[in-house]
Structure 1
Amino acid sequence: MQFTAPLAKNRIRIPTKTNLAKNDRLQFKEFLPLKSTNFVMGGYSKPRGETCTKELQALFECLKKWEFDNLPCADFNRIYVDCVDRVHRANLELTEALKKYPQPELGKYPFKAMRRLPSQSYADDIFHRKNKFGKRN
């Protein structure tokens, strides 16, 4: 049996050459500022994400057990509503603290997709707009 070149390419890994020397390191280049805002979205009455999921799961298990009769599950319902209120109050406290002690430059909207940072050159094509049809180069 002859060993053909296409079969050899699939089986053998050839080390690839890189342009980086062993002493060179990649540098992080931020495209958007790594900043947060001065507020927390706390105007929601429902919990977001993973908050209060255990309480909600316990409430649904109780409702399923008692065939959706809410009288035996009043304690689970109260625990879930208390958790929702606690999360809501925590978000409001954090928002008030951020209003009281604002961070510089964080209240502005710096997250626009086409904003060049002061450290970035005008010549760099960071937004990949060169060579697009209909755009001036």
Structure 2
Amino acid sequence: MLRYPVVRQLIRFTGVGIICTVTSLALYALFRPWIGPQPANAAALIITSLMNTALNRRLTFKISGNRKRARDHLNGLIVIAVALVITGGSLGVLHAFRPEATLEEDLWTTTLSGFVATAVRFTMLRHWIFRRARHV
């Protein structure tokens, strides 16, 4: 058993992140041809946000039951807005310099900027939304 709760949380958060990132990238690749890079990014992030908050709530921070679930999901949407600014901003910069960017370049850009967004997300989840469960 790991001694430090934050390490356990980071390990579980990483597992949830991998699942949600793969789902988000697949949705982005599916939506991009029809609605373009920015709307596809926003749609993929919003759709996976509810899944991400639910999984982190249950697995990472060990919170179960209905108490504060709606508030947690609402706050999770606020946190995902921060991720959207980070990943959308990176796509904006890519397309400003390379308007002809490929799907592969978009996916690399959103993945790399997603790492920054993930660090911000974990911090916000741990210290704001789920602070009541920081000890698990």
TM-score of the alignment, normalized to the shorter chain, above 0.5: no
